[in-house]
Homo-oligomer: A and B are copies of this chain.
Amino acid sequence: MASPFTINATINSFGGQFLKLTHQSAVTATSMNLTLYLPPSAAASKPAPLLIYLSGLTCSPDNVTEKGFLHCHASSLGLALLYPDTSPRGLDLPGEHESWDFGSAASFYIDATAKPWNKNYKMESYLTNELPDLLFGAFKELDSSRVSIAGHSMGGHGALTLYLKNPGKYKSVSAFAPIANPVNCTWGQKAFSGYLGDNKEEWKKHDASELLRGWKGPLNALIDVGTEDNFYKQGQLLPENFEKVAKEIGASGLQVNYREGYNHSYFFISTFAGDHVQHAAKALGLL
């Protein structure tokens, strides 16, 4: 069977290869962009486990590819990396391109239920079902049984919620400066009211701190936040609320680090990328 993916670029880096891919998604009914990093050790005879990294508001897969430097560490550990896009592209829905924190590049990785978003903005279904099915079908160098998830900011929200919604699907989760309690911050309220409508009970189903209340057993979760992150200081991230729930339910396995002097940028991400790659690598049996 022909691969559903078009390879737009192949770039050597740290001994492995970035593949810039596009494919037609039946779920979003659009073309979708993604970048895959294959470490040098990946082969059909020795498939590599996969870390999915979800990017933040305004980003495409290119930002983390160029500035995140997860692949520097993943290369030597034998970990593959998947950088999906932050929303469907190529649409022109009413208001889709007017805000940097809503619409294009701001999907919040949920399945929208409100019009006009509910036809295409189905990123949760896309990321948890369609994309892995296509990817593991096309790339025999990847091990579908060993997958972890991570993300930054809006992508940290995505990583935490997909981890909590799908127990056992991801071996670990980690987040850089995640939006950890979106029902209580303006970014989340804007996104959820737009994509889900006004029923706040529906919003809670997509909020990491709310989802955590129903979690059973230990977590395998790492969170880093910079103390000079303006969005943290503005109360957009609220990792302390996530920590508080973890304590309330007595969940072990959550490590939250507040990094003195670091901001919200890729300079922060790249500095701690090695820790997050190692966190996944341990859970995936590479360390």
Contacts and interface: CB of A to CB of B under 8 A. Distances in A.
Nearest to A10: B261
Interface in A52-106: 66-67, 69, 72
Contact of A270 (B13, B261, B266, B267): B13
Q: Is the interface of A mostly helix, strand, loop or mixed?
A: mixed
Contacts of A69: 69, 72, 270
Contact of A67 (B18, B66, B261, B265): B66
Contacts of A265: 11
A104 B158 CA distance: 42
Contacts of A271: 12-15
A205 to B, nearest CB: 36
Given A12-B261, A14-B271, A261-B12, A266 B66 contact: yes
A240 interface: no
B267 A12 contact: yes
Interface in A257-287: 261-263, 265-268, 270-271
A133 interface: no
B72 A262 contact: no
A78 to B, nearest CB: 17
Nearest to A267: B13
Interface in A234-272: 261-263, 265-268, 270-271
Contacts of A72: 69, 72, 270
A3 B49 CA distance: 51
A241 to B, nearest CB: 25
Interface of A: 11-15, 18, 66-67, 69, 72, 226, 228, 261-263, 265-268, 270-271
